[in-house]
Amino acid sequence: MCKTKPARGKVYTAGASCITSILMNDIEAKVNLDTGEFCNCVGTDYLQAILPGWKNHLLPIEGVQFSSASNNMYPLGMLDTNIVFPHPAGSVRMKTEIVVMDNCTSQHIIIGNDYLNIYGIDINNHKDRYFTIG
């Protein structure tokens, strides 16, 4: 899933996707670095699998409409949490807000363009696909 190249301080991702591993509340999770998504989001099924008590930490979200390429998305609320991109040369910790979607079927957390820009995450599409932070 995730290959690292410590000499360069870059994390390599699998195949043509931008899916890699993070730690969320000290639990390993999969994330998709998605430049086409404007915000961070996660579906209830995947969230329940990695963070069973998530409903106790849900914050309200109002006045925002969400849609995917094929249908409307239904937000249940927002999680305010920390995520860590682990790396042998130095992990990166981020404070993040993740919108919980009732009808999102992804089996990973989606990190959208808002946080890619805030934290300077660059996805490089070379022979070996990788991303850098900062």
**Confidence band (pLDDT; 50, 70, 90) for 3?**
very low
pLDDT for res 2? 43
- List, for residues 10-64, the tens digit of each pLDDT value: 555 444 578 889 999 889 999 988 877 888 999 999 999 999 999 999 999 988 8
> Rounded to whole angstroms, what are the CA distances from 32 to 35, 53, 66, 70, 124?
9, 22, 18, 19, 14
Name the CATH superfamily for 3-133.
Answer: Acid Proteases (2.40.70.10)
For the chain, give every domain's residue range: 3-133
pLDDT for res 10? 52
Amino acid sitting at position 94: M
Asked if residue 5 has pLDDT above 50, the reply is no
More confident residue, 41 or 89: 41
